[in-house]
Amino acid sequence: MNVRVLLFAHLKEIAGESEISLELDAEATGATLLKKLTELYPAADAQKGYLRLSMDGEYLSEDGTIVPDSEIAVFPPVSGG
């Protein structure tokens, strides 16, 4: 499946884009998506556990299954406030 992925903060700068699309197997998990992303952008491969995922505006764990046609976002730990 083809997944739309929003990027934020330093990830957006590394990719030079705020949105990319990734081709993933059906039933792919968050971990698969992160692996694919860091292959594409080696500079995004920070320490393990650094990147956060969300699906349709809810946090998604690395074990979580990517649902087709959902809005995925990848970003670093938040720093609002």
Partner 1 sequence: MFEITEKTIDPNELVAKVDSARAGAISTFIGVTRNFTGDFHVDYLFYEAYHEMAIKMMKRIGEQTLEKFPIEKIAISHRIGRVNIGEASVVIAVSASHRAEAIEACHYAIDTLKELVPIWKKEFMVDGDQKWIANDPKWN
Determine if 16 is a binding residue for partner 1 (CB under 8 A). Answer: no
Q: Write down the number of H helices and E strands in the chain.
A: 2, 5
* Whole-number Å distance between alpha carbons of 62 and 79: 21
**In the bound complex, what is the minimum distance in angstroms from residue 50's beta carbon to partner 1?**
6
**In the bound complex, what is the minimum distance in angstroms from residue 3's beta carbon to partner 1?**
16
**In the bound complex, what is the minimum distance in angstroms from residue 25's beta carbon to partner 1?**
25
Contact present, 65 and 28 (Cβ < 8 Å): yes
Coil/strand/helix, residue 24: coil
Q: Which of 1, 8, 35, 64 binds partner 1 (CB under 8 A)?
A: 8
CB atoms within 10 A of CB 72: 23
Q: Which of 26, 48, 57, 63 binds partner 1 (CB under 8 A)?
A: 57
Residues lying near partner 1 in the complex (CB under 8 A) = 6, 8-10, 12, 46-47, 50, 52, 54, 57-59, 73, 75-81
